[in-house]
Structure 1
Amino acid sequence: MANLFEQNRNYVLGDEELNLIGDREKLAQWRHKGMGPAFYKLGRKIIYRGEDLNAWAEAQRVDPGHGRA
């Protein structure tokens, strides 16, 4: 799979690229519920690593034709 995010980049809330997976409120809900991609919380700052975002996105992949006879 082609990466949706740059592997070696850190993303912070407000980065436009994060809108691919959800808006700021959705990401906050997921963090509160222990869902969504892995993140770092440094003080009040939330940081997502590109490689974690790509791994999470790949895990969400659905192949509708898989398993059909």
Structure 2
Amino acid sequence: MANLFEQNRNYVLGDPELEIIGDRDKLAQWRHKGIGPAFYRLGRKIVYRGADLNAWAEAHRVEPVSMGRN
């Protein structure tokens, strides 16, 4: 698995690296629906661990299917 995020780093909303998976509003929607990457809520601050972001990205990896044509 290639890591999109640094494994041992914490990311907070506003970090430009998070834009690779979605903007601030999209991440908020996912948190509300419980479908986004794991996160910590520390008071009003949202913190994502790099390891959790990588695991979430890997779980959403799509393997292309060969469309065999004759």
Give the Cα separation in 2 of the matches to 1:2 and 1:60.
13
Aligned pairs (5 A) from 1:10-49: 10-49=10-49
Give the Cα separation in 2 of the matches to 1:59 and 1:31.
17
TM-score (norm 1): 0.93
1:18 partner amino acid: L
Moved over 3 A (4+): none
Quick one: percent identity of the two aligned structures? 79
Q: Mark the runs of 5 or more structure 1 residues left unpaired by the alignment.
A: none
**Is the radius of gyration larger for structure 1 or structure 2?**
2
| 1:2 to partner: Cα distance | 1.2
Q: What SS does structure 2 have at the residue aligned with 1:26?
A: helix
RMSD value over aligned CA atoms?
1.4
Q: Mark the runs of 5 or more structure 2 residues left unpaired by the alignment.
A: none
TM-score (norm 2): 0.91
Paired residues, what number? 68
| 1:47 to partner: Cα distance | 0.1
Question: Could you say which residue in structure 2 is the equivalent of 1:55?
Answer: 55
